[in-house]
């Protein structure tokens, strides 16, 4: 049973009626633009065909009751009185309620069941998928309008200040605003986005190294600080404001670590914009080359890759029909992404699984991904 069928079936079993709504919000894969979002830069993610689903109905009181079919347990809290109890996935639900209330919205209670198939902790944004599906549940039951930019910022606030992960805006925005068959070029300063089509005849393949990200939050926050001090060196608020020429003029005056971090962000912003152009021109090979260059940069200069991620990218690049590959998400484990010629997809998948197993001693998981629309609702 897929997660949509599961939540509907379980809802009916538990409440003896159909849910009033079923909401869905997808995970994402970022084609290129690693760690640029919190530098006010550019990213090129797409929402994928793996999502979180919630079947729900309104309540007449102020309680929120959600049961997860995948992770242990259930969460119940009163919207007038709740606090952070560090209770795992439930804090994402409470965090969204908190951030919506902070924004001045009036919330009413609801209850339902939740299930999803976005791999957790693999860099495919299972948290943003959960956050946006919960936000959608609140918008339906509390009757406030769904403004994609506003809701994405609210979800980011929940993750930053309730959960404590100082992420940028990319994951929440793409989960909310994804478009079928397209990636979105997002300017993370203005939050303007434009859809760009995937090159015809290619497939976006997610390669899960089957390693989980360790220490990711602290290393992530550390990278943010390093970028901030590099921006200070250039006298700007964000590295987005430094172009390649300015960087090259002054890079030798920088300390070696700041220089590497800044070089990744500044060259990556340039690659993202070139990638969007390549996609508009249907140039899969150029896009692939930019993606592979992005991996080298994020691995060597930004140092958020891992030996398994480097290995799976290296294996991918050796396969016929692979245009390019890089790690995706925050890094330190989790997934890479590859752009592959559709005609060679089957052998690509078989070879990756076999060779990764031989060399890493681990089973890779491979997800052939389609670009899908963002958060959506089925009225029952």
Shorter beta-carbon distance to ligand GLA: residue 64 or 227: 227
Minimum gap (Å) between residue 168 Cβ and ligand GLA: 3
Question: In sequence order, which ranges of 158-215 are alpha helices (DSSP H)?
Answer: 170-177
| Residues 182-221 close enough to bind ligand GLA by CB under 6 A | none
Minimum gap (Å) between residue 190 Cβ and ligand GLA: 16
Q: Which residue among 37, 61, 147, 171 is the active-site one?
A: 171
The dihedral over CA atoms of 253, 255, 256, 257, expressed in degrees to the nearest 10, equals -140
Single out the segment in contact with ligand GLA by CB under 6 A; choices: 28-36, 59-67, 92-100, 176-184.
28-36
* Euclidean distance between CA atoms 163 and 199, whole angstroms: 37
Minimum gap (Å) between residue 53 Cβ and ligand GLA: 21
Q: x/- site string to ligand GLA, residues 108 to 147, per CB under 6 A? A: ----------------------------------------
Shorter beta-carbon distance to ligand GLA: residue 170 or 239: 170
* Euclidean distance between CA atoms 146 and 313, whole angstroms: 38
Minimum gap (Å) between residue 22 Cβ and ligand GLA: 26
Shorter beta-carbon distance to ligand GLA: residue 10 or 37: 37
Minimum gap (Å) between residue 110 Cβ and ligand GLA: 26
Total of residues contacting ligand GLA (CB under 6 A):
11
Phi, psi of 81 (to 5 degrees): -160, 90
Choose among 22, 377, 337: nearest CA to 183: 337
**In the chain, at which residue ranges do the beta strands (DSSP E only) sit?**
21-30, 42-43, 45-58, 63-68, 74-78, 110-116, 182-187, 193-197, 202-208, 322-327, 335-341, 365-369, 376-379
Binding-site member from 11, 25, 27, 35 for ligand GLA (CB under 6 A): 35
Question: Within a 13 Å sphere around the CA of 96, how many CA atoms are in the beta-carbon half?
Answer: 24
Choose among 300, 365, 292, 281: nearest CA to 323: 292
Residue 37 makes contact with ligand GLA by CB under 6 A: yes
* Euclidean distance between CA atoms 7 and 189, whole angstroms: 37
- Tracing tokens 């102020």 back to the chain, one arrives at 62
| Residues 38-77 close enough to bind ligand GLA by CB under 6 A | 38
Residue 329 makes contact with ligand GLA by CB under 6 A: yes
Minimum gap (Å) between residue 248 Cβ and ligand GLA: 24
| Residues 153-172 close enough to bind ligand GLA by CB under 6 A | 167-168, 170-171
Shorter beta-carbon distance to ligand GLA: residue 75 or 169: 169
Contact by Cβ (8 Å): 176, 23: no
Minimum gap (Å) between residue 30 Cβ and ligand GLA: 6
Residue 330 makes contact with ligand GLA by CB under 6 A: yes
The number of angstroms, rounded, from the C-alpha of 168 to the middle of its chain's C-alpha atoms is 10
Shorter beta-carbon distance to ligand GLA: residue 30 or 299: 30
DSSP string, 44-99: -EEEEEEEEEEEEEE-SSSEEEEEESSSS-EEEEETTB------TTHHHHHHHHHH
- Tracing tokens 């929440």 back to the chain, one arrives at 172
Minimum gap (Å) between residue 166 Cβ and ligand GLA: 9
What tokens were used for 271?
A: 């690659």
Shorter beta-carbon distance to ligand GLA: residue 215 or 380: 215
The dihedral over CA atoms of 192, 194, 195, 197, expressed in degrees to the nearest 10, equals -140
Residue 34 makes contact with ligand GLA by CB under 6 A: yes
Residue 171 appears among annotated catalytic residues: yes
Single out the segment in contact with ligand GLA by CB under 6 A; choices: 2-10, 27-35, 288-296, 362-370.
27-35
Among all residues, which ones are annotated catalytic? 171
* Binding site residues, ligand GLA, CB under 6 A: 30, 34-35, 37-38, 167-168, 170-171, 329-330
């Amino acid at each position: 049973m897929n997660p949509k069928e599961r939540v509907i079936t379980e809802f009916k079993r538990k409440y003896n009626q159909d849910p009033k709504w079923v909401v869905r919000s997808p995970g994402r894969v970022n084609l290129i633009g690693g760690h640029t979002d919190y530098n006010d830069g550019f990213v090129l993610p797409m929402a994928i065909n793996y999502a979180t689903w919630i079947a729900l109905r309104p309540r007449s009181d102020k309680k929120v009751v959600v049961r997860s079919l995948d992770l242990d347990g259930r969460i119940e809290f009163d919207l007038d009185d709740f606090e952070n109890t560090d209770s795992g996935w439930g804090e994402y639900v409470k965090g969204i309620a908190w951030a919506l209330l902070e924004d001045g919205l009036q919330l009413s209670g609801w209850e339902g069941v939740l299930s999803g198939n976005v791999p957790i902790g693999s860099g495919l944004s299972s948290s943003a998928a959960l956050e946006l599906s919960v936000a959608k549940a609140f918008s339906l039951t509390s009757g406030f309008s769904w403004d994609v930019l506003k809701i994405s910022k609210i979800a980011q606030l929940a993750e930053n200040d309730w959960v404590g992960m100082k992420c940028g805006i990319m994951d929440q925005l793409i989960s909310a605003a994804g478009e079928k068959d397209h990636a979105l070029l997002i300017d993370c300063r203005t939050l303007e986005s434009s859809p760009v089509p995937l090159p015809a005849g290619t497939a976006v393949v997610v390669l899960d190294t089957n390693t989980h990200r360790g220490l990711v939050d602290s290393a992530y926050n550390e990278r943010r600080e390093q970028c901030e001090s590099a921006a200070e060196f250039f006298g700007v608020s964000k590295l987005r404001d430094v172009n390649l020429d300015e960087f090259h003029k002054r890079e030798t005056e920088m300390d070696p670590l700041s220089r590497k971090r800044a070089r990744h962000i500044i060259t990556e912003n340039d690659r993202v914009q070139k990638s969007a152009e390549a996609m508009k021109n249907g140039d899969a090979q150029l896009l692939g080359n930019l993606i592979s260059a992005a991996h080298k940069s994020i691995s060597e200069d930004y140092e958020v890759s891992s030996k398994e991620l480097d290995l799976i990218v290296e294996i991918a690049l050796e396969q016929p029909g692979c245009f390019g590959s890089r790690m995706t998400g925050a890094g330190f484990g989790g997934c890479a992404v590859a752009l592959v010629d559709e005609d060679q997809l089957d052998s690509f998948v078989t070879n990756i699984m076999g060779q990764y197993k031989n060399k890493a001693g681990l089973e890779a998981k491979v997800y052939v991904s389609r670009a899908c629309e963002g958060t959506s609702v089925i009225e029952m």
